[in-house]
Structure 1
């Protein structure tokens, strides 16, 4: 009996990463929990960087006359258009926001949307850059590190902006820099756990995103008289995280290491996970090399994984659907956050309400991802978000800048919660739709679509100061359309994470390039 056991141990056993995780490491042990939490902390800075303009670029609520030519006493909510320069001033200090400091009102009001729009355009470009870097030679961890460091630098430089044009340019640079945080943290987290826990783990990052969102009004209120100080404070945090948390304690993705031909390093990461979990990987275990991965290299006769993706009909179809779906949700999700200024409630209060609604959205998404199909959960959330947004029109009071009623605030908060759920689930869905060697690229493409939608939303928010009902209507319709488009995507719940396009094609029974479109639709819908 002992001889048979020794003979079995002496044999080399090749297993996939999923098999090693499930059989010897643990699908989701203490080591992976720490890894996921440390990686997800970076989402706080992603959130702060994105939503800081709700306060720094807010229009002051009141102004007062300082000259008889103006017409008299302080005015709240009235228009300053037509008044001579120097005859009025904002009730607060001019340094309280960029609009007050640089006079972005009346005929210059659309300039107020420029910094946020170019920020999201920068995020679009950054998503493409970091998506390639993370799937290529840099890997997941280095991409997060570079993104955090550049985010810290660009946020600090933004606080020194002398005018709206330099400010917009630096916001664009900040958008490029922060793009790597969201996509790389998500992929790095989900690739460390077994298939059963992918959905829940993917939501942890959004909890920290919500934490960052909730921290913004807390930091903004003490700095309400100087928008520059708000930028300086939040610029310091990603630098500290990079030096004291990310570099020493976070591990690279074993799946990425394997695809890059570094199987021993991948196995070392898994052994470290197993050791912390109180388990052990037998010495005869080796990782099964994914077929046709080329170790990330390209020769004369072989396409790179990303090039191969664009020649694979089922993958192109999925990519197109996920991007169109992402565009509508990005437009809705970021637009409704920025649109809080068009509700006649205290800005700090409404932002805090929305930030708070992110937290139940994360818990609801985490629970339902473990029990519900991805496609059904996403489409239902998108439909509900659109419906609540349209209900906001019913309770709108145009004469009071589209807000002021508690029912409208309730509908807006519930709509945002549903939108946040759909937004979070979409990332998990996209991770599971594509294999390891193009996964980060696919998520980055979906994120580009999200950011393209987000970059347009500030323009509608500015127009919403004149017609709030229209902005709510457009946001609602875009969410409903995204929910409809998602119905053509395949279900991925409990499916394995494949390593290459060829492996996924073989395991799912997909045809790489030669099937008819009708058959492809039938396979994807099954």
Structure 2
């Protein structure tokens, strides 16, 4: 009898527990992607480290294709065919010599200038291919930024961009003349545009707010590796500019087939597209590798649904967003002009080309490391403005060395140029991160692509100034300096994003930024009263 009563009590207790568990699990835990990453996935763990590493590798190919013309389109050294000949003198300059009395040191296939005779009356044609590359990047940024936000997503856009980059780089090596070469450089610039845009966004959208700046900045470390490896590739193929293009085309091809399958799509983008199950799978995968586990009753909040908007707003239809974008684009033009221009202008320094490019590449590393430290303790806009102004001052100071005797100016000018490039690189990196944080997920790729357009526009004009710099180096450095300082001033009014979360829609960002401003005002009043 007692045993029967005990069994009955146990059944009742188990029934109550089961009912409680069913009630508990039936209650959904609704969180945003920001909250899921911060509370359950982990702000930055092993999964995000692997994701960021694999994604950022693509920056290497971006650097290769952007800076390859420093070597392929440089003006090589020349020599007289007959030593001590009265018909040829090195001091006279090649343009005043009779054909056949002089020759290129590395042979006529060492660069495009040597092969197609882009000197003297045709010297301005030498800057056309590099300009066309940046113009192609400008148009590519528009297209691929929209593809990544609206249709393909971040991951597929990276794959597409890498494949097209490999194909166009390889085809460029078969150019029969400067005009076909310029066209293929245009297509190459168009192809590689998705790499820089999507690598930054895909890396930062999977980590917590504490690590967002550092993760975005570390991506540029891989750009520095690409920059640093380029002189090695170019030196091994210094007698054939075509082989340089063939070598650099292999890397993005291998990456697309063998490494991108291990990259995860952005859960933020998947949520906005209504692909909740896929987003949950990505978040579960990230949490698992971090040694964490998502709650079984977890539901992801889709901001595009909760705001009850009838249509998705475009960036230019929101006044505060449009004003921010214009300021960033103006600053981006100046920074792009200086950043790419200083790299392409190294041939106008009185120093060995390979050493100078290597020195600039090495300056990228402290730029990334110092920038990462500063991003953890300083405001984004303060870092950007300070770095831009310092880059401008350094460029202007190079003029002083340009006026001195050529035999004595090399090391001092190289040092100032390296400092100017390092700070320009830091400003360039921080501006990308700042842009990604200033706008919501539904237009984040597009906003970064708009910034990239102006960076590329600056880069497109820079080669023309480099050609002018062959006649007047001081003038080129003055222009670089003035534009860098102007870029540092134009962004001082923009809001700070260091401690702000990544928003998903304009409505959500506008609402929460107003609440944040109101709370800041209340805190100021309270502190004043106290």
TM-score norm. by structure 2 comes to: 0.91
Instruction: Tell me if structure 2 keeps the 8 A contact 1:305–1:438.
Output: no
Rounded to whole Å, the distance in 2 between the matches of 1:65 and 1:488 is 61
Identify the structure with the greater helix proportion: 2
Whole-angstrom distance in 1 between the partners of 2:22 and 2:386: 54
2:503 is matched with: 498
Residue 91 (structure 2) pairs with residue 85 (structure 1):
no
Q: 1:304 to 1:66 in 2, by over 3 A?
A: farther
Show structure 1 runs of 4+ deviating over 3 A. Answer: 1-10, 65-68, 70-74, 291-295, 301-305, 397-401
Residues 270 and 158 (structure 1), Cα distance of their counterparts in 2 relative to 1, 3 Å cut: same
Alignment check: 8 A CA contact 1:293 1:500 kept: no
- Is the CA contact (8 Å cut-off) linking 1:122 and 1:175 kept in structure 2? yes
What whole-Å deviation, never above 9, does each CA across 1:349-369 have from its counterpart, x for those lacking one? 000000000000001111111
The higher radius of gyration belongs to 2
Give 1:5 shift: 6.6
Cα distance in 2, alignment partners of residues 48 and 405 from structure 1: 26
Any idea what the Cα deviations from partners look like across 1:223-251, whole Å, max 9, x if unmatched?
A: 100111111011011000000001x2001
CA shift, 1:7, in A, is 3.8
C-alpha distance in 1 between matches for 2:94 and 2:326 = 46
- Offset of residue 88 of structure 1: 2.2
Q: Counterpart of 2:339?
A: 333
Deviations 1:464-513 (CA, angstroms, capped at 9, x unpaired): 01100010000011000000001021111110100001111111119xxx
1:20 maps to 2:36: yes
Equivalence for 2:426: 421
Structure 1: gaps (5+ residues): 296-300, 511-526
Between the aligned partners of 1:202 and 1:477, the Cα distance in structure 2 is 28
The answer on 1:277 being equivalent to 2:277 is: no
Contact 2:307/2:507 (<8 A) preserved: no
Q: Could you say which residue in structure 2 is the equivalent of 1:521?
A: none
Other-structure match for 1:63 = 79
Contact 1:151 1:174 in 2 (8 A): yes
Instruction: Report if the CA contact (8 A) 1:95-1:227 is conserved.
Output: yes
Checking the alignment, whether the CA contact within 8 Å between 2:88 and 2:102 is kept in structure 1 is: no
SS across alignment from 1:184? helix
Whole-angstrom distance in 2 between the partners of 1:117 and 1:470: 19
Tell me the equivalent position of 1:97. 111
| Structure 2 residue 313 is the aligned partner of structure 1 residue 305 | yes
Matched, 1:44 2:60: yes
Equivalent residue in structure 1 for 2:239, among 225, 233, 239: 225
Checking the alignment, whether the CA contact within 8 Å between 2:77 and 2:106 is kept in structure 1 is no
Return the match for 2:514 from 502, 509, 515.
509
Partner of 1:462: 467
Deviates more, 1:9-18 or 1:335-344: 9-18
The 5 A counterparts of 1:97-496 are 97-246=111-260, 248-291=261-304, 302-306=310-314, 309-397=315-403, 400=406, 404-496=409-501
Q: Give CA deviations for 1:44-81 in whole Å, capped at 9, x if unaligned.
A: 0000000011000010123324599x834562x75211
Which residue number in structure 1 is paired with residue 9 of structure 2? Answer: none
Q: Deviations over 1:99-139 (max 9, x none)?
A: 00000001100100000001000000001111000001100
Q: 1:8 aligns with which of 24, 27, 30?
A: 24
Q: Is the 8 A contact 2:350 2:409 kept in 1?
A: yes
1:330 and 1:450 in contact (8 A); partners too: yes
Alpha carbons 2:440, 2:505 under 8 Å: kept = yes
State the alpha-carbon separation in 2 of the partners of residues 343 and 140 from structure 1.
39
Mark the runs of 5 or more structure 2 residues left unpaired by the alignment.
Answer: 1-15, 516-530
Distance in 2 between the 1:486 and 1:443 partners? 16
Post-superposition shift, 1:294? 9.8
Q: Distance in 2 between matches of 1:266 and 1:274?
A: 12
Calculate the aligned-residue CA RMSD, in Å. Answer: 2.1
Q: Give the direction of change, closer, same or farther, for the CA distance of 1:395–1:188 in structure 2 (3 Å limit).
A: same
Partner of 1:520: none
- Deviation sequence 1:203-241 (CA, Å, 0-9, x none): 121000000000000111111001111110110110000
Q: Following the alignment from structure 1 to structure 2, what is the Cα–Cα distance between the partners of residues 92 and 262?
A: 57
Q: 1:322 to 1:9 in 2, by over 3 A?
A: same
Partner secondary structure for residue 345 of structure 1? coil
- Length-normalised TM-score, structure 1: 0.92
Distance 2:277 2:83 in 1: 76
> Aligned residue for 1:523?
none
With over 3 angstroms needed to count, the CA separation of the structure-2 counterparts of 1:71 and 1:411, relative to structure 1, is same
Distance in 2 of aligned mates of 1:171 and 1:33: 34
